Amino acid sequence: MKRIVALTSLLAIGSTAAIAGPALQICHGEYALCAASSTDATGRSIVVNGITFREGVSVCPVLHGPAIADMNLMGGSCKAPQGKVWSLFSNVKNFPQAPTWAVMPEVVRAFTTAPTPGGGMSNMWSFPCVKREHLVNGVQLADCYGPLNESPWTSTSVPFGSVVGTAAAVGASNPVGGNIP
């Protein structure tokens, strides 16, 4: 719960009058947690709040329970379309992580984005995910699609040289995370 309160505080600080902040809500049920995932560019674009970004895809474990969402990006509903889940934020400390998808403790770190391939960051928070057909080591996985180098707090571009927080392993390509305001 402390992490949800901290996230809410960060979102309030990071929002400005000119840029509408997230519409926060707690959703209950199935969701994907991409906090420790890397992201590969798809070669396509994605539009977030009228701004076009490069699109990325992350493989994320599907969990069950309460999670925080941005209703602005989810059409105002926690209910995902059939066969899909939303990628949400959670305060779980141990969850399945690549490459084995064994349950491991979350290890949060900061890094600085760079223009080198894979040196950026990605935002998967409150974006749709397609559940995979087969479990891996007993874990349901989903392919989540979201923007590269987009701030989850303001929906604006995150420039290279920005400090980002993530739970992805060192060396992960375009780790899922959020810029630190």
**Whole-angstrom Cα distance, residue 18 to residue 66?**
30
Task: Categorize the per-residue pLDDT at 21 as very low, low, confident or very high, splitting at 50, 70 and 90.
Answer: confident
Span 93-120, average pLDDT: 96
Task: Categorize the per-residue pLDDT at 47 as very low, low, confident or very high, splitting at 50, 70 and 90.
Answer: very high
Q: What is the pTM of this model?
A: 0.87
pLDDT for 20 equals 60
**CA-to-CA separations, 35 to 7, 26, 123, 133, in angstroms, rounded:** 13, 17, 9, 22
